[in-house]
Amino acid sequence: MTGAADGDAQGASGEGTSSESASGEGTSSESTSGEGASDKADAPLASGWVRIGERSWWSSWAGYSAVFVVTMIVYFGAQAGRFFDGLVPFPSNLLLGAVLIAALMWVATAARNAIYPQPWVNLDTDQLRAGTRRTVALADVDRALVPLDPALRSDVLVLRLTAKEARVEIILRDRRGPRLDGTSTRVLAEALRRTGVAMPTSSNDPTGRFGRYNFPGHVGLDDAIALVEHPPAPGAPLPASW
């Protein structure tokens, strides 16, 4: 009887040791996971020129579906085709009208891309580059705003940064969700902290108390950083200053 009791006690003790060991492994795993997250958060920022997002040729049309664009070309092409009634027979006049509208859209897109080229940031030199040539100091960037038209499309959120010599436009969110990857988000947020972005003021409102009414669409530094780090979901309210 005594032997059996001793055996049971040893078995229970063994199970307890095994349980403690498993618990220890779980704690070690959680600790490793926490350290990994901390290391990622504390990782050094990228050096050199970092591309902020990826601005393609058709980025200006973000938020518009292909069906909408084709429908617009067909509709306005039919209207423009009336100008060719006496020159070519039907339906060639409609085709010419559609080609004319498509060409106008191409020119408008090219002009917009020239005004708002691909943005790059270099935190080593505290510089912002618009496209391939226009480079300005981050301290010279003094305005941030959410353009009214894209903001009215609930699935697109755009942040525009301007300086006297350059301006860039960053798509923060579209219908698929946030557009910036982790590196772009961290670099852009840090770059904003080094800028002179502030709500604009006027002679009649030197404190900027009514800036949201006098300068609709503009956001302050804290709001701009918040938009970059945590783009609000479609339909969610934008910063109060907007």
Across all residues in the chain, what is the average pLDDT? 76
Model confidence pLDDT, tens digit, residues 100-153? 888 888 888 888 878 888 899 999 999 999 988 789 999 999 999 988 654 445
pLDDT at 52: 93
Which has more pLDDT, 46 or 22?
46
Tally Cβ neighbours within 10 Å of residue 189. Answer: 17
Average pLDDT over residues 1-28: 44
- Beta-carbon contacts of 65 under 8 Å, excluding residues fewer than 6 positions away, are none
Distance (Å, rounded) from C-alpha 112 to C-alpha 103?
14
Q: At what angle do helices 92-115 and 66-80 cross, to 10 degrees?
A: 120
pTM, to two decimals: 0.68
Contact predicate 148/218, CB 8 Å: no
b/e string for 18-35 if b means 16 or more Cβ within 10 A? eeeeeeeeeeeeeeeeee
* Residue 39: partners with Cβ closer than 8 Å, 6 or more residues away: none
Which neighbouring-strand residues pair with 159?
170
Tokens representing 209 are 């108390």
Residue 3 has pLDDT above 50, yes or no: no
Q: What is the pLDDT of residues 153-207, one digit of tens each?
A: 567 888 999 998 888 999 898 877 888 999 999 999 999 999 999 988 888 878 7
Q: Which residues have a Cβ under 8 Å from the Cβ of 168 and sit 6 or more positions away?
A: 52, 116, 117, 118, 119, 128, 130, 160, 161
The encoded tokens of residue 84 equal 């060719």
- CA-to-CA distance for 83 and 7, rounded, in angstroms? 102
